[in-house]
Amino acid sequence: MAQGLRLVLFGPPGAGKGTQAQLLRDSLKVTHISSGDLFRHHLGQGTELGLRAKEYMNKGELVPDEVTIDIILDKILSVSDEEGFILDGFPRNPHQAEELEKALNGKSRNIDKVVHIEVSEPELLRRLGGRYVCRACQAPHALGEGEDAASKKCDQCCGELYQRDDDGPEAVKKRIEVYNKETMPVLGFYRERGVLADIPGDNTVEQVNKQVMEALGA
């Protein structure tokens, strides 16, 4: 039986990880695992985990590893070897990367590729300021100037669109700071393992998708 792709999409807040993950999920038929979506799902359900995560998310900080790692690894390990997965938002610090490697080594095969989508800070701020997310399926949408979210529905499932609490200017500033300080070192971890591909992400969604596919050799 063919082995499914094991991909990490890596990049700062607003780089387009979620957007690209949804395109790849549909074209490559692999499971998309987003740690942020998982926390937001729990929050929507009012679970203890969701409420705990919210304290950190709204401030733009990382949710502590003891809350994050087990729950994400459980999800990853539940995907069959044939199906494969795309990780979006995990791992987010070197400790998470080490724990992921340990868990996957237990399944005899590590991450195939880490695609790092690089986007300039002004573009990140522009994108996050205009992003609305579907409450039902979590698909991100970019609203143009003057467009009204209340009169627009999700392109994919017609769900209601809302603006994330952590997309306000203070939380975005903090998220970018946290990314630079705590998450960027993960790049070195994967560079050493020879699986890292850097691609420019300031281009259109379609151009970025083409570059991701090229990085995957697809």
The residues annotated as belonging to the active site are 17, 92, 131, 164, 175
Is residue 16 near ligand AP5 by the rule CB under 6 A?
yes
Nearer to ligand AP5, 110 or 203 (CB): 203
Residue where the block lists tokens 């995957």: 216
The answer to whether residues 5 and 216 touch, using CB atoms and an 8 Å cutoff, is yes
Q: Closest residue (Cβ) to ligand AP5?
A: 36
Cα–Cα dist 181/6, whole Å: 26
Rounded to 5°, angle at Cα 3 from 35 and 97: 35
Greatest alpha-carbon span in the chain: 51
Least separation, in Å, of the C-beta of 62 and ligand AP5?
Answer: 4
The structure tokens 């989508």 sit at 117
Q: Which of residues 134-193 bind ligand AP5 (CB under 6 A)?
A: 140-142, 166, 175
With CB under 6 A as the contact rule, the residue among 8, 14, 134, 211 that binds ligand AP5 is 14
CB of residue 211 to ligand AP5, shortest distance in Å: 10
Q: How far apart are CA 218 and CA 186, in angstroms?
A: 25
Question: Which of 17, 32, 42, 116 is close enough to bind ligand AP5 by CB under 6 A?
Answer: 17
Q: Does 115 bind ligand AP5 (CB under 6 A)?
A: no
In angstroms, give the least distance from the CB of 170 to ligand AP5: 13
Q: Is 77 in the site for ligand AP5 (CB under 6 A)?
A: no
CB-based burial of residue 76 (10 Å sphere; 0-12 exposed, 13-18 middle, 19+ buried)? middle
| Paired tokens of 7 | 């991909």
Residue 36 binds ligand AP5, judged by CB under 6 A: yes
Rounded to 10 deg, the angle between the 65-77 and 35-45 helix axes is: 110
Binding residue (CB under 6 A) for ligand AP5 from 97, 114, 208, 215: 208
Binding range to ligand AP5, per CB under 6 A, among 77-85, 102-110, 191-199, 200-208: 200-208
Q: Which run of H or E residues covers position 142?
A: strand 140-142
- On whether the CB atoms of residues 62 and 92 are closer than 8 A, the answer is yes
| Binding region for ligand AP5 (CB under 6 A) | 11, 13-19, 35-36, 39, 56-57, 60-63, 68, 89-90, 92, 96, 127, 131, 140-142, 166, 175, 203-205, 208
